[in-house]
Amino acid sequence: MSSAPILEVRDLTVDYQTSRGAARAADRLTFDVHRGEFLGVVGESGCGKSTMLFAVARLLSHPAGITGGSVLFHGENLLTMAERRLNVLRWRDFAVVMQSAMNALNPITTIRAQFSDALIAHGRRSKTENETRCAEVMRLVGIDPVHLGSYPHQLSGGMRQRAMIAMALLFTPDLIIMDEPTSALDVVAQRSLMAQIKELQRQLGFAVLFVTHDMSLVSHFSDRLMVMYAGQIVEVGDTRSAFDRPAHPYSRGLLNAFPSIHGPRVELLGIPGSPPDLAEPGHGCRFAPRCPEVMARCADQEPELYPIAGAHARCLRHEPATAGKELA
């Protein structure tokens, strides 16, 4: 893996305008994605995962708006980039795979026509070249090119998602951003699709920024894991370490709510309470009202992302001045 990141997100902040004021759905997010890396992003519904992803790709629409930070892709800031330059980079250098392929694909146009539109928009003109490339990417994702003549409704859910991934691969981009691409699929189709993505990543070397709520998927397929809660990153680090030794109480709560098919049978534990109102998140640690390890000062002091054993966790128990000490 290259030491230089291809994507550098720094202090990315997104607000949604509501009748009660601004709700901060992404709060000063900072992370990197390296060439060939698979970064998984997990968290409860409403924690800001998809908002972050759409902000990175600059696909947000009203009432959401980016209010701070930068997103550097190969050193260029996507947030200040002119729309014309951004359109050149989309699909060619980075691509987005949406959550629901049935909604993302045009229902009245064949798969071939949609692929061709992207190819023509980025400079390919020969009909023969376009047809050859369309067939190539369909084979890459395990679909017979005969289905290029199909409409989206004529394909199964798994085939539609594979077709979306094939479209993302038309120009062999350096980064593919995926927003829960397996959420509408059964578990067998999920595993098949994820195995296909990992194999393509191995062959072509692109990086993946993968948003999901399914812990089992990231445990098997991601290199690094980023856990989000209430618009903030609460833990980020190596996936295996995060599962074996979760550093944040919220990460432990997510794992305790996730069934395992290995080891002794254990009772599943939920996380009591609910996430805070992002329009009024309050002071201190946002997870404090639900945290089984809460300390008195958690209610008033907001934690930073503190380094711990190769990872980073947003918990006052890992604050350098107090790490390892039991505080009331």
Q: Are residues 46 and 84 in the same domain?
A: yes
Give the Å distances, CA to CA, from 163 to 130, 168, 169, 203, 243: 16, 9, 10, 18, 32
Which of the given ranges, 8-17, 210-219, 237-246, has the highest pLDDT on average?
Answer: 8-17
C-alpha span between 65 and 51 (Å, rounded): 10
- pLDDT value for 271: 84
Q: Does residue 277 form part of some domain?
A: yes
**Is the confidence at residue 210, as pLDDT, over 90?**
yes
pLDDT band at 327 (very low <50, low <70, confident <90, very high): very low
- pLDDT value for 263: 57
> Taking the mean position of all CA atoms in its chain, how far away is CA 108?
29
pLDDT band at 281 (very low <50, low <70, confident <90, very high): confident
Looking at the structure of the chain, the number of domains it has is 2
Give the Å distances, CA to CA, from 267 to 256, 258, 273: 8, 10, 19
pLDDT band at 101 (very low <50, low <70, confident <90, very high): low
- pLDDT value for 270: 75
Q: Which of 151, 114, 146 is nearest to 130 (CA)?
A: 114
Q: Are residues 85 and 140 in the same domain?
A: no
Phi then psi for residue 316, to 5 deg, are -65, -20
Q: Does residue 225 form part of some domain?
A: yes
Q: Are residues 159 and 290 in the same domain?
A: no
DSSP annotation string for 150-201: S-GGGS-HHHHHHHHHHHHTTT--SEEEEESTTTTS-HHHHHHHHHHHHHHH
- pLDDT value for 185: 78
Q: Does residue 126 form part of some domain?
A: yes
Q: Does residue 194 form part of some domain?
A: no
pLDDT band at 190 (very low <50, low <70, confident <90, very high): confident
C-beta separation of 300 from 283 below 8 A = yes
- pLDDT value for 139: 94
Q: Are residues 165 and 204 in the same domain?
A: no
Q: Are residues 220 and 137 in the same domain?
A: no
The pLDDT of 228-245, averaged and rounded, is 94
Q: Does residue 191 form part of some domain?
A: no
Mean pLDDT across the chain = 89
Q: Are residues 270 and 220 in the same domain?
A: yes
**Is the confidence at residue 277, as pLDDT, over 60?**
yes
C-alpha span between 233 and 242 (Å, rounded): 14
pLDDT in tens, 18-53: 888 899 999 999 999 999 999 999 998 889 999 999
- In the chain, % helix, strand, coil (3-state, to 5) comes to 35, 25, 40
Q: Does residue 192 form part of some domain?
A: no
**Is the confidence at residue 189, as pLDDT, over 50?**
yes
pLDDT in tens, 114-152: 999 989 888 767 889 899 999 999 999 989 999 999 999
pLDDT band at 215 (very low <50, low <70, confident <90, very high): confident
pLDDT band at 13 (very low <50, low <70, confident <90, very high): very high
**Is the confidence at residue 244, as pLDDT, over 70?**
yes
Q: Are residues 308 and 238 in the same domain?
A: yes
The CATH number assigned to the domain holding 51 equals 3.40.50.300
Largest Cα span, the chain: 71
pLDDT band at 295 (very low <50, low <70, confident <90, very high): very high
Q: Does residue 324 form part of some domain?
A: no
Q: Does residue 323 form part of some domain?
A: no
**Is the confidence at residue 60, as pLDDT, over 50?**
yes
pTM over 0.85: yes
Q: Are residues 83 and 117 in the same domain?
A: no
Q: Are residues 131 and 111 in the same domain?
A: yes
pLDDT in tens, 248-275: 999 999 888 766 655 566 666 778 888 9
List the domain range (segments joined by +) for residue 121: 101-170
**Is the confidence at residue 74, as pLDDT, over 90?**
yes
pLDDT band at 288 (very low <50, low <70, confident <90, very high): very high
Q: Are residues 26 and 47 in the same domain?
A: yes
Q: Are residues 233 and 257 in the same domain?
A: yes
Q: Which residues contact 262 (CB under 8 A, 6 or more apart)?
A: none
> Taking the mean position of all CA atoms in its chain, how far away is CA 87?
21
**Is the confidence at residue 1, as pLDDT, over 70?**
no
- pLDDT value for 272: 84
- pLDDT value for 124: 65
Q: Are residues 27 and 126 in the same domain?
A: no
Phi then psi for residue 209, to 5 deg, are -110, 110
7, β-bridge pairs: 33, 73
